Structure 1
Amino acid sequence: MNLLFVCSENRLRSPTAEAVFSAYAGVDAIGAGTNADAETPLSGDLIEWADVVFVMEREHRTKVSRKYAPLLKSKRLVCLDIADRYDYMQPELVRLLKARVSRHVRL
């Protein structure tokens, strides 16, 4: 299963999600950012690759939906509602990610 995690800059939340979920058997995870200066900028290729697209905030869902609407027709786009107030691999962030992602995919 291919999981794409999207935040703004791809520096804290989505890289944490990528690290956490890449450790699961049968899961490939990639993080990306909506900003032009993101470590890994979001692209149509990443949207096409993903089985499920997880965004951290509603504003990310809006940006992704507007820019990639045709590519999202057969995809699940899920907002995790995780604010930008955590450090990379912060235990609270890891717990939130595991709890919220597990509501949408079987791991």
Structure 2
Amino acid sequence: MIILFVCSRNQWRSATAETLYKNHPYHQVRSAGTAASARVKINAKLIIWADLIFVMEKKHKQRINERFAAEATEKEIIVLNIPDDYQYMDEELIAEFNAKVHEYL
């Protein structure tokens, strides 16, 4: 499965998820952000590429659906409800991913 993780700036949450799952034997993983200041900005090509999209907050799903309606129409976008309260590779953030993403993998 091809998985895209999305947060706002692609610095802490989605970047952590990409690091955690990038060496998974059955999945390809990337991450991106919805903000103009994102390290890697979400784009149509990434949305088309992904089989499954995990977003950290509802606002990220809304932004994807607003800006990339055609590309996101038939994509499964899962809201993880992980607030922007963590640093990159924070132990609590890793625990959140393990709890919330595991059932989809």
TM-score range, shorter chain: over 0.9
1:42 aligns with 2:42: yes
Per the TM alignment, residue 95 of structure 1 is displaced from its structure 2 partner at its CA by: 1.0
Deviations 1:31-56 (A, max 9, x none): 10001110000000000000101110
What is the Cα-based RMSD across aligned positions, in Å?
Answer: 0.9
Per the TM alignment, residue 89 of structure 1 is displaced from its structure 2 partner at its CA by: 0.5
Stretches of structure 2 that go unaligned for 5 or more consecutive residues are none
Task: Identify the residue that residue 81 of structure 1 maps to in structure 2.
Answer: 81
51-60 or 69-78: which moved more? 69-78
What's the TM-score, normalizing by structure 1?
A: 0.93
Per the TM alignment, residue 67 of structure 1 is displaced from its structure 2 partner at its CA by: 1.1
- Local SS of the residue matching 1:102: helix
Spell out structure 1 runs of 4+ moving beyond 4 A: none
CA distance in 2, matches of 1:100, 1:65: 22
CA distance in 1, matches of 2:9, 2:77: 19
> What is the correspondence of 1:1-16 to structure 2 with a 5 Å cutoff?
1-16=1-16
Per the TM alignment, residue 61 of structure 1 is displaced from its structure 2 partner at its CA by: 1.0
Query: Which one-letter code corresponds to 1:87 in the other structure?
Result: Q
- Local SS of the residue matching 2:85: coil
Per the TM alignment, residue 73 of structure 1 is displaced from its structure 2 partner at its CA by: 2.1
> What is the correspondence of 1:18-29 to structure 2 with a 5 Å cutoff?
18-29=18-29
CA distance in 1, matches of 2:44, 2:4: 12
What's the TM-score, normalizing by structure 2?
A: 0.95
The number of residues matched between the two structures is: 105
Per the TM alignment, residue 23 of structure 1 is displaced from its structure 2 partner at its CA by: 2.2
Stretches of structure 1 that go unaligned for 5 or more consecutive residues are none
- Local SS of the residue matching 2:68: helix
Per the TM alignment, residue 74 of structure 1 is displaced from its structure 2 partner at its CA by: 2.2
